[in-house]
Structure 1
Amino acid sequence: MDKGKGLARRWAVELADSTGSSTSSSAAVPDPLGFTRSVHEQDDASSSRQKKDAEALWKAQKAWEVAQAPFKNLLMMGFMMWMAGSTVHLFSIGITFSALWQPVSALQNVGKVFEPYKDSRVETLAPKLLFIALNLVGLGLGFYKLNTLGLLPTHVSDWVSSLPPPPEVEFSGGNLPFH
């Protein structure tokens, strides 16, 4: 038996208004006793403002953390270059060129590094300047290591082969007396 087929269900509630649309207007329904919309809307506005302020503060802190990150790299790279020694061999050259490449690639990507922290309330100029300065110090450290290895052309004879090399300023010998 198909009892009730085609008939509306007994406990169904029709949520559509009398015009046939499925949306109801909130103005037609009165507010409950003790409820005022203006206070509720003010609370929403102040909480959203607090959330935006907290997000801006978080972004500013993260931008400063990213800006200070090259300092840790400077200490590690300086230690590695010191451990590599001052003789020219594969390990010291590899460490030196790594010390040169990392700051150069970081300086090329400054905009991308600070892109997630852009906001109208977050000032990223000072963190960017610190980031650039620390990477330039790292670049200088790499050039200093190249100079101590003797790989930088610092004398005229490095460019012109017909000129004599500079005289040696140091001489070291064993503990044998010279006669």
Structure 2
Amino acid sequence: MKIIELLEREYLNRYRKRELLILRAILLYYRDPNFRVVVLIQYASKGKNLRLRQFCCKKLSVKYGVFTSKDAIIGRNLKVEHFNGLVIGSGAIIGDNCTLYQQVTIGQKDNKYPIIGNNVVVYAGAKVLGHIKVGNNAIIGANAVIIDDVPEYGIAVGVPARVINNKGE
């Protein structure tokens, strides 16, 4: 994927305005650090040029405190509300339309990484560890430590996390 295509796509995901699309996307890239971090994360996971992907990972870690791997698989329309301290491991899979807050870790346990479904919200300080699956439309509460699967529409809170709501119950 080319960087220009990625800028256009991420801009359209946020604002849905097609007028002067590339100009607005470039201006937003330079003005909004949250937009810039999302574009760099997306390019680091989907770009074609390996050296540029590695450069994006290094820039994210040095300048923004976001540690992500070029081998992570990240879906479309990722939202990073506050990017400080974000960690995404190399084998992690994140679905479409996910929202991540600050200090979130998506990491390994026994060399296995989590799979996060679509439309998932992970609140501040949460840790998602190991070979687990977080279902679609799930919510992970602040400072939760997820070491077991979370079903679709589940709300997981606590240390270790437990599901307190499942499918509107």
TM-score bracket, normalised by the shorter chain, equals under 0.3
TM-score by length of 1: 0.18
Greater relative CO (CA pairs within 8 A, separation 6+) = 1
Structure richer in strand, relative to its length: 2
Structure richer in helix, relative to its length: 1
